[in-house]
Structure 1
Amino acid sequence: MTAPIDSALSGRRVEQLTGGRRLLIRLSGGVEVSVENDFRLAGPAEVEHFYPGLGMQPTGGLPELVGARLAAARVTPAGALVLAFDTGRTLTVAPDGPAHPWAVATADGPLFTAQAGGYLTARGR
C-alpha cells in the first residue's frame, strides 16, 4: 500500500493542524489526514509522544509542520502510517487502538482508512 498512499500524499504542503480528540492535518489539494490514535513526532534531536484520546493541542514540534511538504508517506506491514516531512521530522501513527487509528480523505470521501489491528481499506480497492 506504500506506492498508492505515497503518490496521494507526497509533495503536498501542510496548510493547517488542529487538535482535540484527534489530530487533523489539512494538506494542499483538499486532502486531510485524521489521526485518532497515539502517535510520535521524531525530529533531528528529539521524539515527542501525543495522545489524542486524552485531548491534545498541536504543541512542541507539531506547529513547525505548517508550511512543510510531505517528502514521503508509507504504511508499514503492521498498518502504521509514517509521514516524512521535508523539515526532517517524521510522524508515525501506531496501527492499533481506536476503530480507525488514522485516515486520509478528500471532500469526496476516504482514500485510505486504517482499521483496528493494522488492516487497511482503500477507496476503489
Structure 2
Amino acid sequence: MAGEIESALTGCRVEAISVAGRLTVALSGGVVVTAANDFRLRTATEVEHFYPRLALGPSGALSALVGARVIGAGVTRAGGLELDFGAAGQLSVPPDTGGPAGAEAWRVAGPHGPLFTAEPGGYLAV
C-alpha cells in the first residue's frame, strides 16, 4: 500500500488548498486529497494543528504549500496519511478518531474516482 500511494502522489504539484469543514488539497493531474480529521503541518520553524470542522481558513504556512510538490507520501501503521513537501513542510492526517459517523479520516481521489480511503477504525480501502 505504501508504495502505491507514494507512486500515485510523488511529483504532484499543489494547485489549491481549502479548509471548509474538511481539508481539500487539489494536486496536479486531477488528484485531490481530502481530510475530515484534524491534521498537523510541520515546517522547519513550527508545528501547526488544524481543526477543519471549525471552518477556519488556511493559515499562512498551509497556504504556502500551493506550488510545492509532493516529494514523499506514505501511510502509517495505524492508517494515518503522511505527505512530505520538502522544505515547505510535512502534512500528517491521523486515522479515524471518532469523527462524524460514516466519514473517512482522509481520501485520495483521482479524476476517475477514489484511489485510497481511510475508513473508520484505521482501515484502508484501495
The answer to whether the superposition gives a TM-score over 0.5 is yes
Report the counterpart of residue 67 of structure 1 in structure 2: 67
Query: What secondary structure does 1:61 align onto?
Result: helix
Report the counterpart of residue 84 of structure 2 in structure 1: 84
Number of equivalences: 122
2:112 counterpart of 1:108: yes
CA RMSD of aligned residues (A): 1.0
> Does the 8 Å CA contact 1:75/1:82 hold for their aligned counterparts?
yes
Query: What secondary structure does 1:56 align onto?
Result: coil
How much does 1:88 deviate?
A: 4.3
2:26 counterpart of 1:33: no
- 1:33-68 deviations in whole A, cap 9, x for unaligned? 001100000000110000012212111300100000
> Does the 8 Å CA contact 1:70/1:85 hold for their aligned counterparts?
yes
Q: Distance in 2 between matches of 1:53 and 1:77?
A: 25
- 1:91-121 deviations in whole A, cap 9, x for unaligned? 0001023330100002211000001111000
Q: Distance in 2 between matches of 1:119 and 1:45?
A: 32
The equivalent position to 2:122 in structure 1, one of 92, 98, 118, is 118
Q: Distance in 2 between matches of 1:18 and 1:118?
A: 24
Q: Percent identity?
A: 52
Unaligned runs of 5+ in 1: none
What residue identity is the alignment partner of 2:109?
A
Structure 1, 75-84 or 97-106: larger mean CA deviation: 97-106
Unaligned runs of 5+ in 2: none
